[in-house]
Chain A
Amino acid sequence: NAGVTQTPKFQVLKTGQSMTLQCAQDMNHNSMYWYRQDPGMGLRLIYYSASEGTTDKGEVPNGYNVSRLNKREFSLRLESAAPSQTSVYFCASSEALLSAEAFFGQGTRLTVV
């Protein structure tokens, strides 16, 4: 019962470094998402993928890129990390975009110094 698996769980980056957050789901879901969560601001959508082969910007896409590698995997890349990207990142998946429950990973706590 893996569900949605994110790696890594914790990461510290220096300003300007790059990294990729990995996400995989084993529920054969069509839709996948990346959110960031900051204190007092709730979850904010960075990018989403309605289905394999498609990606779309969410509310806060600047500074990020994504790849829907296949139906299972959806990665988030920070090309040049900034302190403002210090946050907890959550990947999620669902059968459909709005009308189905979303399953979340355990999160990646990223600190940019």
Chain B
Amino acid sequence: SQKIEQNSEALNIQEGKTATLTCNYTNYSPAYLQWYRQDPGRGPVFLLLIRENEKEKRKERLKVTFDTTLKQSLFHITASQPADSATYLCALDTGRRALTFGSGTRLQVQP
């Protein structure tokens, strides 16, 4: 079946370390992949967009990679801070004309 997989278990890391979150997908060939941050009780907030012909995208402490052969995107937060604690969602086009979202991974950064 077609699906987008994000690790449903929370990721706990120490402040200052690099957090790496994974988004795997099957049976799609997305032209775009996006990452969002969601805090409790709030709507998702856009972080980064990467296109299929881009291997990597960076924005400040954030880095996204997009491997269309492995059908995987990795989202990295370097020098993580407690304020980075949130749920991170990946989203991509799955043949529909609007984004399809993964269920998200909760990141907890311990001081």
Contact = CB atoms under 8 A, between A and B. Distances in A.
A50 B5 CA distance: 26
A13 interface: no
A42 to B, nearest CB: 4
B43 interface: yes
Interface string A26-56: 0000010101000011111100101000001
B42 A58 contact: no
Interface residues of B, number: 24
Contacts of B99: 33, 45, 98, 102
Interface SS of chain B: loop
Contacts, number: 64
Given A40-B103, A43-B89, A97 B97 contact: yes
Contacts of A41: 103
A42 B102 contact: yes
Interface in A79-102: 90, 92, 97-102
A56 B97 contact: yes
A107 B42 contact: yes
B10 interface: no
A42 B100 CA distance: 9
Interface string B8-41: 1000000000000000000000011010100001
Contact of A106 (B42, B101, B103): B42
A46 to B, nearest CB: 10
A43 B44 contact: yes
B83 interface: no
A42 B103 contact: yes
Interface of B: 8, 31-32, 34, 36, 41-46, 49, 89, 91, 93, 96-104
